[in-house]
A and B are shown apart, each in its own frame.
Chain A
């Protein structure tokens, strides 16, 4: 049975580790949670904090430092596969480096060694309400993490001016109209309804025994596709897909947001931003080359 790997992203100092502790406080009773930390730059400090936390979890520290790019993800495949096999957690939660790219990370879950073990679960992005505008020059990275988020936590709202919180909330809504937005202090948010927000398994959440094995699918392509062909493509995969989301480059310099589960998928035009097409999906485990399939629908 494959298990979800949830991601916590966000810039350094936004409150990712605090949120991770909050998550463990809330969910670690009776569940075995695997924890992965990838924030080496602060000299292993986060590892120390997390180790002092009591609860049922296993910790995997990744010794890769700041993961620069997709080229360093290859060796993570083996350590993650071993971690999941040896610790057999019910779920894994990963605190990603502030500079990491959730979509590239999702790509490695397609490897044969991980395909039937883990899939990309929920993605939380933590934003420091006070710093969002200050870090304008880092926007492209932040925006990318925000666009991929299922839930955005606007943290430290108690320390920020009210106007700041409203302005950040509006910016986030504009970037990602589908994400659930929570404001929090010390990254404490209510998880009520959060399981619904996972959205991957709307009806199957409580019936794990009869759900199919799931796998992550990442389609990253620089090819353009016609809107009609995109709809055809989505039609062709909807039977095997439980959920998909992402942004697709359409002919005529347009960008579409794709979001949906089962046979209800919405495709909406959003403001153009630079970057290739990136679609992340959760599907039934089967050997199929979705990238190739997607590109077969693209323009020649």
Chain B
């Protein structure tokens, strides 16, 4: 099944045979091709190259064209400061610096970096017809905050009507940019409104809901799908976000996934998230990433859930961490292994002092369970067959990581993957089932060293 159709199924709350996976590759795409954030976000060619590389490495079902919440603000007169590792930052707020709201015009297709993004979307559409292409727009509240600066918060209290006028304008910008992105070939419009995490549900309903709803209604009337992205401490707003009727909501690690699942599904809306960005994907290793991913998969389930990072991937996110998540998405055995390993950190490695036998070769096979995991079964069979010729000079042990002692043995031997075969304590064969001759040679070599 192609990525687009599995994501559409999730949006429609139909059961999926596996969980769809959408890595939010923004400036991380630049990292993949050796371009800094500024060059990357200003070049159609680099965006297409970066996203293509991400598609090759991470085998996603859907992917954003770019992740930059400053594109519309820049066109509307906000000054940007560019960085080499991040999307740019807005550093001036025209509506707080003397510019009148009624002097702002709705952007056109040719303004600012719209041509870069739209051109990239068209090219990616042609190149990856089966991928769900996400067009990201700045949510109306976040765009209003770009235009007004933090004055918006006092103005919500002192001049609410003015803030509502700004919101209406930002919504029109959002609808217009959505139309452009859909025309360029995007399948999903993601309304990214992180700043809504700052306000309470009552204010959300007054200042955000009517406007966000307009954008989602527009996308639906165009026959396409929408998602509402928020990050930060926004748990209080999940219900009102769903009431805006997007097709999907996407959240980060600050909100428990099972909480979102419960609210979203009760309101018949699909949901996504919330792989930990910093502590796991950026700073952790492959094992951490796998455990985190399986934890999300288990909470999310296979109905209406899309696995995604909590937000825009930091530029320097290690490729191998995201590939570890990718491998896990496509491989049920890996999921089982990660599940078994989830509670392993409090376990001590087994003491191996009495494990070795003089004059004998000890072969340890770390498996999930050869009774239920096919690759593990083939590994165990291969080792047993190869060792028969050596009689009692070879001792073969299977250690199932479904048992606590299996995990402790895995730790003691320094094994990271399952199935893995160790000969006299040396990791010899990882995941791949070796040929019989190869195994025999390895055992013979160990004998000569005994």
Interface set of A (CB-CB < 8 Å, partner B): 11-12, 40-44, 63-66, 68-75, 78, 98-99, 101, 104, 107-108, 110-112, 134-141, 144, 218, 220, 222-223, 236, 249, 274-276, 289, 291-293, 295-297, 300
Q: How far is the CA of A66 from the CA of B202 in the complex (A)?
A: 24
Residue B101 CB within 8 A of the other chain: no
Q: How far is the CB of B145 from the nearest CB of chain A, in Å?
A: 8
Asked if B235 is at the interface (CB within 8 A of a chain A CB), the reply is yes
A236 to B347, CA, bound (A): 12
Please tell me which one of the listed residues B200, B284, B312 contacts residue A71 in the complex, with CB atoms under 8 A apart. B312
Answer whether residue B310 sits at the interface, using C-beta atoms and an 8 A cutoff: yes
Would you give the shortest CB distance from B316 to chain A, in whole angstroms?
6
Could you mark each residue 239-264 of chain B with 1 if its beta carbon is under 8 Å from any beta carbon of chain A, else 0? 00000000000001111111100000
Stretch at the interface among B110-118, B191-199, B323-331: B191-199
| Shortest CB distance B111–A (Å) | 21
* CB-based contact B89/A64 at 8 Å: yes
Q: In the complex, given contacts A223-B295, A275-B255, what are 13 additional A-B residue pairs having Cβ atoms less than 8 angstroms apart? A: A40-B81, A63-B81, A71-B252, A71-B277, A72-B86, A74-B315, A75-B86, A75-B314, A104-B278, A135-B153, A274-B236, A292-B345, A300-B343
* Complex contact A137–B345 (CB within 8 A): no
B71 at the interface (CB under 8 A from A): no
Is there an interface contact between A70 and B311, defined as CB atoms closer than 8 Å? yes
Measured CB to CB, the closest approach of chain B to A166, in angstroms, equals: 22
Task: Please give the distance in Å from B160's CB to the nearest CB on chain A.
Answer: 11
CB–CB A41/B149 < 8 A: yes
CA distance A43 to B346 in the complex (A): 49
Binding site for A on B (CB under 8 A): 69, 81, 83, 85-87, 89-93, 142, 145, 149-150, 153, 156-157, 194-195, 197-200, 202-203, 231-233, 235-236, 252-259, 274, 276-280, 282-284, 288, 291, 295, 299, 310-317, 342-346
Known: A220-B253, A274-B236. A140 touches B231 (CB 8 A): no
Task: Report the Cα distance A111→B314, complex, angstroms.
Answer: 13
Contact B279 A220 (CB under 8 A): yes
**A69 near B194 (CB under 8 angstroms)?**
yes
Q: Given A222-B258, A276-B255, A296-B343, A74 and B153 touching (CB < 8 A)?
A: no
- Across the two chains, which residue of chain A brings its CB closest to B207? A137
- Given contacts A98-B150, A137-B200, A141-B198, A70 and B233 within 8 Å (CB-CB): no
Residue pair A137, B203 in contact (C-beta under 8 Å): yes
Candidate in B92, B93, B142, B253 with the most chain A CB atoms within 10 angstroms:
B253
Minimum Cβ distance to chain B for residue A96 (Å): 13
> Chain A residue with minimal CB distance to B145?
A66
**Chain B contacts for A68, CB-based, 8 A:** 69, 142, 194-195, 231-232
With A107-B278, A236-B346 as contacts: A70 and B253 at CB distance below 8 Å: yes
* B26 nearest CB neighbor, chain A only: A71
- Our count of residue pairs bridging A and B at CB distance below 8 angstroms stands at 172
Q: Of the candidates A66, A136, A293, which one forms a contact with B345 in the assembled complex, judged by CB atoms under 8 Å apart?
A: A293
Distance (whole angstroms) from the CB of A258 to the closest CB of chain B? 18
Shortest Cβ gap from B322 to chain A (Å): 14
Most buried by A among B69, B157, B203, B254: B254
The reply to whether B314 and A71 contact each other, CB–CB distance below 8 Å, is yes
Chain A residues lying within 8 Å of B258, measured Cβ to Cβ, are 222
B153 and A43: CB pair below 8 A?
A: no
In the bound complex, do residue B277 and residue A295 qualify as a contact, i.e. CB atoms below 8 Å apart?
no
Contact yes or no, B156 A43, CB < 8 A: no
Residues of A within 8 A of B156 (CB): 137
Query: Which A residues touch B194, using CB under 8 A?
Result: 68-69
Given contacts A98-B150, A108-B278, A289-B288, contact A40 B200 (CB under 8 A): no
Q: List 19 A-B contacts (CB under 8 A).
A: A41-B93, A65-B89, A68-B69, A68-B142, A70-B231, A70-B277, A70-B278, A70-B310, A73-B314, A99-B150, A107-B283, A112-B283, A138-B199, A222-B257, A222-B299, A236-B346, A275-B254, A289-B288, A293-B345
When distances are taken between beta carbons in the complex, the residues of chain A under 8 Å from B316 are 74-75
A38 to B198, CA, bound (A): 17
Q: Point out the residues of chain B lying under 8 angstroms from A138, CB to CB.
A: 153, 198-200
B150 contacts A41, CB within 8 Å? yes
Specify which chain A residues have a CB less than 8 angstroms from the CB of B232 in the assembled complex: 68-69, 101
Asked if A70 and B93 sit within 8 Å, CB to CB, the answer is no
Smallest Cβ distance from B47 to chain A, in angstroms?
18
B192–chain A nearest beta-carbon distance, Å: 9
Smallest distance from the beta carbon of A247 to chain B beta carbons, Å?
12
Say yes or no: A222-B256 contact (C-beta < 8 A), given A110-B279, A296-B343. Answer: yes
Known: A74-B278, A134-B157, A138-B198. A110 touches B310 (CB 8 A): no
| 5 residue pairs, one from A and one from B, having the closest CB atoms | A65-B89, A74-B314, A222-B256, A75-B85, A274-B235
CA A98 – CA B291 in complex, angstroms? Answer: 34
A295 — which chain B residues lie within 8 A by C-beta? 295, 342-343, 345
Q: Nearest-CB distance from A233 to chain B (Å)?
A: 9
Nearest Cβ on chain A to B146's Cβ, whole angstroms? 9
What is the bound-complex CA distance between A289 and B257, given in angstroms?
Answer: 22
A101 to B255, CA, bound (A): 14
Residue from B202, B203, B233, B346 in contact with A296 in the complex, judged by beta carbons closer than 8 Å? B346
Q: Provide the residues of chain B in CB contact with A236, threshold 8 Å.
A: 346
Q: How far is the CB of A153 from the nearest CB of chain B, in Å?
A: 20
Query: What residues of chain B lie closer than 8 Å to A101, measured between beta carbons?
Result: 232-233, 254
Q: Which residues of A contact B145 (CB under 8 A)?
A: 66
- Tell whether, in the assembled complex, residue A297 and residue B86 are in contact, meaning their CB atoms are under 8 Å apart: no
Known contacts A138-B199, A292-B288: A71-B91 contact under CB 8 Å: no
**Complex Cα distance A223/B76, Å?**
43
Kindly state the separation between the CA atoms of A72 and B156 in the bound complex, as whole angstroms.
26
Query: CA of A135 to CA of B255 in the docked complex: distance in angstroms?
Result: 23
Contact between chains at A75 and B83 (CB < 8 Å)? yes
Inter-chain contacts of B257 with A (CB < 8 A): 222
CA gap between A106 and B344 in the complex, in Å: 25
In the complex with contacts A72-B86, A75-B83, A110-B283, A275-B235 CB distance below 8 A: yes
